[in-house]
Amino acid sequence: MIRVFVSALVFLLLVALEFSFFNSLPLPFFSVPLIFACGLYFFQHLGSSVGLWWLLALGIYLDFYHLGLVFGETFIYGVTVLFVILLGRRLFTNRSFYGVVGNAVLSLWFLHLVQFTWFFIGTFNQDIPFPWWSTFIFVFWQTVFLFLLITILFFLARRVSLFFHRLLIVPNRENL
Amino acid sequence: MWQQNYRRFFIWLLPPLVLIILVLLFLSLLPNGLALFERPLSSAGGWLERQWIAIFPAKEGKTYCATSDSELLMALAVDQSEFEALKMENENLHLQLGFFERQSFEYVPARIIKRSSLPTDDVFVIDHGADDGIAIGSAVIVADGHLIGKVIEVKGQSAVVQSILGRNTEVAVSLLNSSRTIGLSEGSGGALLSLLFIPQDENIAVNDLVVTSGLEETIPPGLVVGVVTGVERDQAAPFQTATVEPLIDSRQFNTVSVIILETDL
């Protein structure tokens, strides 16, 4: 029960940091995918399913506050979680830095692919101009910051793992 | 053995519990508690953005505001829109022989507590909602009457606002030219607005001020929207279109005001 509360609390803390602080910063800094990076890192490197639930909760949060590109972010993040699990189980190892980065970057691009597909299906009959260039720049910076965040988390792995093991979010440290 | 089962039981129970708790948290009073942390975080982010802009000013766009007299021009723009609104109101008062009551509205000052990170839509959440009288479609302004967005969803103590620059955000506007051209401004997700449905015989020019027309029930007339920066005329088309540049960058503000119109007057 404590683990549940701590997980929810950490998620809310990450949400406050990302949506209130980072998103108030100018480009490129408002593209920092903090929750996505933490979720991916927790799943892929620390082997904690809490990371996946954070991703799904992020989808719910975006839908709740209409902060996403389209309505239905819960579904989009749900599909992305399945993609993350697939990559984590079949393609990338959890011990390698490149494995964690590879899963994170591919999953981020997959998320955007599903988002834009969903968006264009929803606006198929409408003549809505889409700012391709700013979107491209945004995704580029998001990828850069994702890489940086994963790098920082990976090289602080032992401390991160110990800290969250104490908070009961990470069940064991055998994977490290 | 018992401990293993106990642990497994909680591991399986965790996900639905987290979801239930999150839903309960969103629907309960916790968002207000979270707002206590979100306000300073948002303010800190906004302050850092202003410092960033001061150090690295934008080199493209914002042609109207980038001149050396930008502050004076903006002040004049506000004065002119206020003057025109007062003039029109005065004319109406004379025409309707005092039957017209000056439409009064009240403000709800609010703080931005969350922002989206989308490049296509500037959506933000403010810390006041339906409990304070905010309704869907309410105008959100900054400082001295610049319209920056419209409320698209309200909750008890928070409201979601979409910038006028956001995709599909439409605002009924009029130009402060000789014929008081009425049109519809539409955001496209970029830095500029499109002014649509202007008949070909209307004479619009660059630097014409664009203000709200008051044709929307929830938005009063005379709020500054922007200035015309380009006009496209295609003789074959029934309407001409114009490009409008907002005079204010909404991302630089952390405090806004929501206009509550007393529609029952």
Q: Based on the number of CB atoms within 10 Å of its own CB, is B195 exposed (0-12), middle (13-18) or buried (19 or more)?
A: buried
Tell me the per-residue pLDDT of A5-55, one tens digit each, with 9 for 90 and over.
778 888 888 888 888 888 888 778 888 898 999 888 888 888 878 888 889
pTM exceeds 0.90, yes or no: no
B73 in the same domain as B33: no
- Give the total number of structural domains in chain B: 2
Contacts of B53 in chain A (CB under 8 A): 26
**What is the predicted pLDDT for the residue at B45?**
76
B100 in the same domain as B41: no
Average pLDDT over residues B223-250: 83
B258 in the same domain as B133: yes
Q: Which domain holds residue B228?
A: 59-265
B199 in the same domain as B93: yes
Contacts of B15 in chain A (CB under 8 A): 49, 53
DSSP summary character for residue B65: T
**How far apart are the C-alpha atoms of A144 and A109, rounded to whole Å?**
12
Q: CA of A118: how far to CAs of A54, A108, A109, A128, B115, in Å?
A: 22, 15, 14, 14, 22
Contact A31 B117 (CB under 8 A): yes
Q: Identify the closest residue of chain A to B18 by CA–CA distance.
A: A4
Whether the pLDDT of residue B23 is over 70: the answer is no
**What does pLDDT average to over chain B?**
74
CATH number of the domain that B93 lies in? 2.40.10.350
Contact A23 B115 (CB under 8 A): yes
B35 in the same domain as B151: no
More confident residue, A68 or A152: A152
Average pLDDT over residues A119-128: 74
Round to the nearest angstrom and report the end-to-end CA distance of chain B: 72
More confident residue, A162 or A63: A63
Mark which of B55, B74, B93 sits at the end of a domain.
Answer: B55
> How far does B256 lie from chain A, in Å, by closest CA?
15
- For residues B157-167, one letter each, b for 16 or more C-beta atoms within 10 angstroms of the residue's C-beta and e for the rest, the string is bbbbbbbbbbb
More confident residue, B120 or B131: B131
Contacts of B39 in chain A (CB under 8 A): 20
Pairing of strands B146-154, B105-115: unpaired
B216 in the same domain as B85: yes
Phi, psi of A140 (to 5 degrees): -60, -50
B97 in the same domain as B197: yes
Query: What are the helix and strand counts (H, E) for chain A?
Result: 7, 0
**How far apart are the C-alpha atoms of B81 and B228, rounded to whole Å?**
14
Q: Identify the closest residue of chain B to A56 by CA–CA distance.
A: B19
**How far apart are the C-alpha atoms of B138 and A90, rounded to whole Å?**
50
Interface probe with A: pick from B114, B165, B192, B194, most Cβ of A within 10 Å: B114
Which amino acid is located at B258 in the chain? V
Contact B115 A18 (CB under 8 A): no
B74 in the same domain as B118: yes
**What is the predicted pLDDT for the residue at B132?**
85
Mark which of B14, B33, B55 sits at the end of a domain.
Answer: B55
Contact B52 A5 (CB under 8 A): no
Q: Which residue from A18, A26, A128 is facing B49, i.e. has the nearest CB?
A: A26
B112 in the same domain as B170: yes
> How far does B40 lie from chain A, in Å, by closest CA?
8
> How far does B164 lie from chain A, in Å, by closest CA?
15
Q: Which helix (H) or strand (E) holds B227?
A: strand B224-232
B252 in the same domain as B206: yes
B205 in the same domain as B153: yes
Query: Nearest CA to A66 among B122, B89, B211?
Result: B122
Mark which of B55, B76, B93 sits at the end of a domain.
Answer: B55
A2 interfaces chain B, CB cutoff of 8 Å: no
Tell me the per-residue pLDDT of B196-220, one tens digit each, with 9 for 90 and over.
888 877 788 888 888 888 888 888 8
The model's confidence at residue B224, banded by pLDDT at 50, 70 and 90, is: confident
Contacts of A60 in chain B (CB under 8 A): 19, 22-23
Counting residues of chain A whose pLDDT is more than 70, the rounded percentage is 87
Q: Identify the closest residue of chain A to B151 by CA–CA distance.
A: A66
Average pLDDT over residues B187-193: 80
Contacts of B256 in chain A (CB under 8 A): none
More confident residue, B75 or B65: B75
Query: Nearest CA to A104 among A158, A42, A28?
Result: A42
Pairing of strands B139-142, B146-154: antiparallel
B118 in the same domain as B36: no
Interface probe with B: pick from A13, A27, A65, A136, most Cβ of B within 10 Å: A65
Residue A30's contacts (CB-CB under 8 Å, 6 or more residues apart) are A22, A23, A24, B115, B117
> How far does A120 lie from chain B, in Å, by closest CA?
13
